[in-house]
Chains A and B, each alone.
Chain A
Amino acid sequence: QKEVEQDPGPLSVPEGAIVSLNCTYSNSAFQYFMWYRQYSRKGPELLMYTYSSGNKEDGRFTAQVDKSSKYISLFIRDSQPSDSATYLCAMYILGSQGNLIFGKGTKLSVKP
Chain B
Amino acid sequence: GAGVSQSPSNKVTEKGKDVELRCDPISGHTALYWYRQSLGQGLEFLIYFQGNSAPDKSGLPSDRFSAERTGGSVSTLTIQRTQQEDSAVYLCASSLALGGTSGGQQFFGPGTRLTVL
Closest beta carbon of chain A to B109's beta carbon, Å = 5
| B111 lies within 8 A of A100 (CB) | no
Chain B, residues 97-117, CB within 8 Å of chain A (1/0): the string is 011110111111111010000
Whether the pair B48, A99 counts as a contact (CB closer than 8 A) is yes
Would you list which residues of chain B between 73 and 117 have a CB under 8 Å from chain A? 91, 95, 98-101, 103-111, 113
* Contacting pair A49 B105 (CB below 8 A): yes
30 cross-chain CB contacts under 8 A: A32-B101, A34-B104, A42-B111, A43-B4, A43-B6, A43-B111, A44-B91, A46-B108, A51-B101, A88-B42, A90-B43, A92-B103, A94-B100, A94-B103, A95-B99, A96-B99, A97-B56, A98-B31, A98-B33, A98-B48, A98-B95, A98-B98, A98-B106, A99-B48, A99-B59, A100-B33, A100-B104, A100-B106, A101-B45, A103-B42
Chain B residue numbers with a CB within 8 Å of A103 are 42
B104 adjacent to A32 (CB under 8 Å) = yes
Question: Which residues A30-46 have CB closer than 8 A to chain B?
Answer: 32, 34, 36, 41-46
A-B pairs with CB below 8 Å: how many? 70
